[in-house]
A and B are shown apart, each in its own frame.
Chain A
């Protein structure tokens, strides 16, 4: 490896060039020392989520029925890779459309892929903007979607 001639001039040159690069490095970090910080002090400051943000799913309230459009077809439950969704519906009268009454997701297993939202024929589910997803127990991760919709009224 040390086949190249390593003369005295090269020795001095190496030291000088190396020293210069070190000084330049110091100068670059000094400049950044006085620039504005970029981090967000999280619990004090909060970011707003973008329009497309994917939190856990939630039902959309439509203006025509003042409620969701879920027909409990179960497509979302079937397409979910992790079997997160449980949905139940009932018919109030024979011949009527089925209406979703219960909709639970086990959020601890959800991978937020968005397939359920894609596949919904009534387009009644969407992503929430919820991002503070910390729970005290596993049961807290089971989210009652219809209950959330009722609660937000």
Chain B
């Protein structure tokens, strides 16, 4: 990392030039636009420009009943749709005071964790691809494909699941899913060695990620960074542990953290979280309670007047739904806290002084999904 000071617009001289990384660029994960000011190959200033995939999800909520909004959360963070769906259902259930059967909660946790693994595979392997290693990316997709097959088995869909319903889930899990998940856990555990040695031990990978894009603890807290990106900076914070929701308190799992705060640390946190997610799934499968998967709820819910905020740990950090109800079937306002948004803007702090190639690495390592930022 070179020691070049950030300069503001007024002092930009002829030495520097601007480069548009995106909106269409192979490594911007969707339509993200990073306006770079470069001095040679060294970044002086970076300006993320968002809004290319704004679809007005929050506004949409004000024009439709609570049920009709069910497909939307999964379309914000398309890589962890199950988790967002879970979060939205929890928020409405809290607002209406609906008790969810325990079996449904367990199934939600299993599916959410499977989805988290799938999302982390994209996050880590996409990062590796940003560094130029294409093969691990496709191996990761192979493993992710198994998860999608499992989720398709129960929800019928592969990306935007709409599986959760108020008061439970749409349908019960099958024996096939149960056995398939067990088999998947075995299979994935046997493949960690390959990933560890192919990527994490590789000298080029380490050289490319170590001491690159260091987010200090203070910066992370200042910018409101959450999720694996925060845990990579040494802050032990996980919504699942610290503000427990659903049945997460019943499971034993660790929160992997790293002190360094660089790209390598973030990558390692994500890989370690895969194992923790597998542990949670295993425990949930072991203790899966019998019973119904859906509580008795009216066909169209009508929450009482009031508001509620529910926060949950998505694959990218602490996401949240804030719902204001005016006592009708249509929400008065829904506000979504998108973790990618606050994670993204830490770029402006950490990127100056890095090379152009590092920007791709840092951007990949904080793992944002653009539709979630723009909503």
Q: Which residues of A contact B (CB under 8 A)?
A: 1, 14, 17-19, 21-22, 24-25, 28-29, 32, 38, 50-54, 75, 79-81, 111-115, 118-119, 127
Query: Does residue B70 face the partner (Cβ distance < 8 Å to A)?
Result: yes
Q: What are 15 A-B pairs at a CB distance below 8 A?
A: A21-B197, A22-B204, A24-B197, A25-B201, A25-B202, A28-B198, A52-B155, A75-B299, A79-B65, A111-B75, A114-B156, A114-B162, A115-B70, A119-B299, A127-B156
Q: Which of B160-178 contact A (CB under 8 A)?
A: 160, 162, 165, 170-171, 174
List chain B residues, Cβ under 8 A from A17: 203
The answer to whether A50 and B156 touch across the interface, beta carbons within 8 angstroms, is yes
List chain B residues, Cβ under 8 A from A111: 71, 75, 160, 162
The answer to whether A54 and B198 touch across the interface, beta carbons within 8 angstroms, is no
The answer to whether A53 and B203 touch across the interface, beta carbons within 8 angstroms, is no
Given contacts A1-B1, A111-B160, A114-B162, 6 further A-B contacts (CB under 8 A): A24-B198, A52-B152, A52-B155, A80-B68, A111-B71, A114-B156
Q: Which 5 A-B pairs have the closest CB atoms?
A: A18-B203, A54-B156, A81-B68, A113-B71, A52-B156
How far, in angstroms, from A118 to B300 measured CA to CA in the complex?
Answer: 11
How far, in angstroms, from A86 to B204 measured CA to CA in the complex?
Answer: 59
The answer to whether B157 and A112 touch across the interface, beta carbons within 8 angstroms, is yes
Task: Map CB proximity to A onto B78-102 as digits: 1 under 8 Å, 0 otherwise.
Answer: 0000000000000000000000000
The answer to whether A52 and B160 touch across the interface, beta carbons within 8 angstroms, is no
Closest to B162 in A: A113
How far, in angstroms, from A50 to B153 measured CA to CA in the complex?
Answer: 6
Q: How far is the CB of B1 from chain A (nearest CB, A)?
A: 7
List chain A residues, Cβ under 8 A from B157: 54, 112
Task: Map CB proximity to A onto B288-306 as digits: 1 under 8 Å, 0 otherwise.
Answer: 0000000000011000000
Closest to B139 in A: A32
User: Which of A22, A50, A75, A79 is B152 in contact with, Cβ under 8 Å?
Assistant: A50
List chain B residues, Cβ under 8 A from A19: 203
List chain A residues, Cβ under 8 A from B174: 51
How far, in angstroms, from A120 to B299 measured CA to CA in the complex?
Answer: 10
Q: How far is the CB of B299 from chain A (nearest CB, A)?
A: 6
Closest to B75 in A: A111
User: Which of B69, B153, B194 is A52 in contact with, Cβ under 8 Å?
Assistant: B153
Query: Does residue B62 face the partner (Cβ distance < 8 Å to A)?
Result: no
Q: How far is the CB of A39 from chain B (nearest CB, A)?
A: 9
Q: Which of B129-152 contact A (CB under 8 A)?
A: 135, 139, 142, 145, 152
How far, in angstroms, from A28 to B139 measured CA to CA in the complex?
Answer: 12
How far, in angstroms, from A38 to B187 measured CA to CA in the complex?
Answer: 14
List chain B residues, Cβ under 8 A from A51: 174
The answer to whether A53 and B198 touch across the interface, beta carbons within 8 angstroms, is no
Question: How many A-B contacts at CB < 8 Å in the complex?
Answer: 81
The answer to whether A53 and B211 touch across the interface, beta carbons within 8 angstroms, is no
List chain A residues, Cβ under 8 A from B142: 38
How far, in angstroms, from A21 to B194 measured CA to CA in the complex?
Answer: 12
Q: How far is the CB of A21 from chain B (nearest CB, A)?
A: 5
With A28-B194, A81-B64, A115-B70 known as contacts, the answer to whether A21 contacts B156 (CB < 8 A) is no
Task: Map CB proximity to A onto B186-229 as digits: 1 under 8 Å, 0 otherwise.
Answer: 00000000100110011110000001000000000000000000
List chain B residues, Cβ under 8 A from A79: 65, 67-68, 300
How far, in angstroms, from A119 to B170 measured CA to CA in the complex?
Answer: 12
Q: How far is the CB of A106 from chain B (nearest CB, A)?
A: 16
The answer to whether B139 and A81 touch across the interface, beta carbons within 8 angstroms, is no
How far, in angstroms, from A115 to B156 measured CA to CA in the complex?
Answer: 13
How far, in angstroms, from A28 to B205 measured CA to CA in the complex?
Answer: 15
How far, in angstroms, from A127 to B202 measured CA to CA in the complex?
Answer: 47
List chain B residues, Cβ under 8 A from A21: 197, 201-203
Query: Does residue B154 face the partner (Cβ distance < 8 Å to A)?
Result: yes
Task: Map CB proximity to A onto B13-43 as digits: 1 under 8 Å, 0 otherwise.
Answer: 0000000000000000000000000000000
Q: How far is the CB of A101 from chain B (nearest CB, A)?
A: 24
How far, in angstroms, from A21 to B203 measured CA to CA in the complex?
Answer: 6
Q: How far is the CB of A28 from chain B (nearest CB, A)?
A: 5
Q: Which of B71, B154, B156, B211 has the most CB of A within 10 A?
A: B156
With A81-B64, A111-B71, A112-B157 known as contacts, the answer to whether A1 contacts B152 (CB < 8 A) is no
How far, in angstroms, from A25 to B201 measured CA to CA in the complex?
Answer: 9
Q: How far is the CB of B256 from chain A (nearest CB, A)?
A: 22
The answer to whether A115 and B202 touch across the interface, beta carbons within 8 angstroms, is no
The answer to whether A52 and B171 touch across the interface, beta carbons within 8 angstroms, is yes
List chain B residues, Cβ under 8 A from A113: 70-71, 162
With A52-B152, A54-B157 known as contacts, the answer to whether A25 contacts B198 (CB < 8 A) is yes
The answer to whether B170 and A53 touch across the interface, beta carbons within 8 angstroms, is no
With A1-B1, A21-B202, A119-B299 known as contacts, the answer to whether A29 contacts B135 (CB < 8 A) is yes
Closest to B170 in A: A114
Closest to B142 in A: A38
How far, in angstroms, from A1 to B198 measured CA to CA in the complex?
Answer: 27
